[in-house]
Structure 1
Amino acid sequence: MSDSHIGDVDQLIPIVYDRLRALARQRLAAVPGEHSLNTTGLVHEAYLRFVESSGPTFQSRNHFLAIAARVMRNVLVDHVRSRVAAKRGGGAALLELGDQLSITGVDLDRVEDLDEALKRLELLDERQARMIEQRYFGGLSLEEVAGAMDLSLATVKRELRSARAWLAAELKTT
C-alpha cells in the first residue's frame, strides 16, 4: 500500500484485516478477565463506527491504523464503562504504560481513569495523546507512529517518554 491517497474503509479493511485482528487481540489481552468482547467483535465494532462516521478518507496504511487505534480505544472504553456500570465495585489496580507494546496490569476501573487522563493530556498536548493512543491502543510500532505523524523516530521516543511520565503522575492522583 503506497502513501498516496488510499480511499475509504471498505477498500482498506480487506487489506489490513489480519493486522486489525492482531491489534484487537493485543488490546483485549491487556484487560484481564475480559471475556465478553472478543477479537472479532472488537474489529467489527470498530468497522461499524468507521462506517457510521461517514467514511473518512485515508492517505496511507499508517494513517488508517492510527485512526483505527483511536476507534478501538473508544470501543474498549465504552465497553468497559458499560461493564463497570453494570458491576459497580472492585478495587482499582495500578495501570502501567511500559516500554512494551501493551498496557499492563489493567483493572477495568482503571481503563476509564486512563481514558480520562488521555483526554486531559490531549488538552495539554494533542500530539503526545495521539502517540500514546497509536502506540498502546493501536499497537503501532515506534516507526509506524513516526510515519503516521510525520515525525522523526527520536522525537516519537522522546515525546512518548514524556507522555508516559505525565500519565503516570496523573494516574497516581486518581
Structure 2
Amino acid sequence: MTDVTQILSQVEQGDPSAAEQLLPLVYSELRKLAAAKLAHEKPGQTLQATALVHEAYVKLVNVEHVQQWDSRAHFFAAAAEAMRRILIESVRRKNSVKHGGGHHRVELKDVDLPLITRSDDLIALDQALDELEIQQPETAKLVKLRYFAGFSNAEASEILGISPRHANTLWAFAKAWLHERVFGDNRS
C-alpha cells in the first residue's frame, strides 16, 4: 500500500492530521492537472491553478463529509471530477447576469466575426458529458480523465481497468459524439 493510499485511509477514518500529510504528497500532481485544465481556458481566466488545486483539495478531504478512496487512482479521478465541477461553476457564475453574463468583450478588429467563447463551449461540453454519462458511463469517465485530468490514454485505461486499445475505441467515439453534441446541428 503506497503512502498516499495509507493516508487516504486515515482521512476516511476521520484523522484530521492525515489531510495535512496528504497535501505535500499529491500537490505537484494536482498542480499539473490544474495547469493543464486552465491552459485550455480563455485568456484572462481569473481562476489560477493554485486556487483550483486548493479548492478541489478542500472538497476531496473534507473531514466533515468523509469520502472513501479505493486507491490513489480513485483519488486522482475524483480530483479531476472536482476540478471539472469547479471550472463549470466558475463559467456559470461569470455568465450570470450579476457578473455581466451576456456581455462579451470584443476586440475592434474582430467586430465582423461571430463571437464564440470558450465558456459557452465548456458549458455545452458539460451538458453533453452529463448526457454521455447516462448513456455510456465508462466512456464519460474516460473523457473526464483524458480531458479534465490530462491523463494519457495509457494512464486513463489503467485507472479504468480497461485495455489501451479499448480506451482508444471509446476515446474516438467520445470525441465524435461530443463534437456533434457541442458543435453540431443539435446544439441548443
How do 1:65-80 residues align onto structure 2 when only pairs under 5 Å count? 65-80=76-91
Give per-residue Cα distances to partners, 1:77-136, cap 9 Å, x unaligned. 00111011122224663xxxxxxxxxxxx6112111111110000111011111100111
Change (3 A) 1:59 1:13: farther
Aligned to 1:124: 135
Report the identity percentage: 34
Greater alpha carbon shift after TM alignment, 26-35 vs 144-153: 26-35
Structure 1 or 2: more helix by fraction: 2
Change (3 A) 1:44 1:142: same
Native 8 Å contact 1:66 1:145 kept in 2: no
- Consecutive unaligned residues of structure 1, counting only runs of 5 or more, are 94-105
**TM-score normalized with structure 1 length:** 0.83
Q: Distance in 2 between matches of 1:4 and 1:20?
A: 13
- 1:47 offset after TM fit, Å? 1.1
Change (3 A) 1:144 1:123: same
Bigger radius of gyration among the two: 2
Q: What amino acid is the match of 2:57?
A: Y
Native 8 Å contact 2:128 2:181 kept in 1: yes
Instruction: Choose between structure 1 and 2 for higher RCO, CA contacts under 8 A separated by at least 6 residues.
Output: 1
Q: How many residues in Structure 1 have an aligned counterpart in Structure 2?
A: 162
Q: What SS is found at the alignment partner of 2:61?
A: helix
Q: What amino acid is the match of 1:23?
A: L
How do 1:10-159 residues align onto structure 2 when only pairs under 5 Å count? 10=19, 11-52=21-62, 54-85=65-96, 86-89=99-102, 90=104, 93=116, 107-159=118-170
- Consecutive unaligned residues of structure 2, counting only runs of 5 or more, are 12-18, 105-113
Q: Distance in 1 between matches of 2:120 and 2:165?
A: 33
Aligned to 2:108: none
- 1:61 offset after TM fit, Å? 2.2
Change (3 A) 1:148 1:74: same
**TM-score normalized with structure 2 length:** 0.78
Please tell me the root mean square deviation across aligned C-alpha atoms, in Å: 2.2
Greater alpha carbon shift after TM alignment, 1-10 vs 149-158: 1-10
Q: Distance in 2 between matches of 1:13 and 1:125?
A: 33
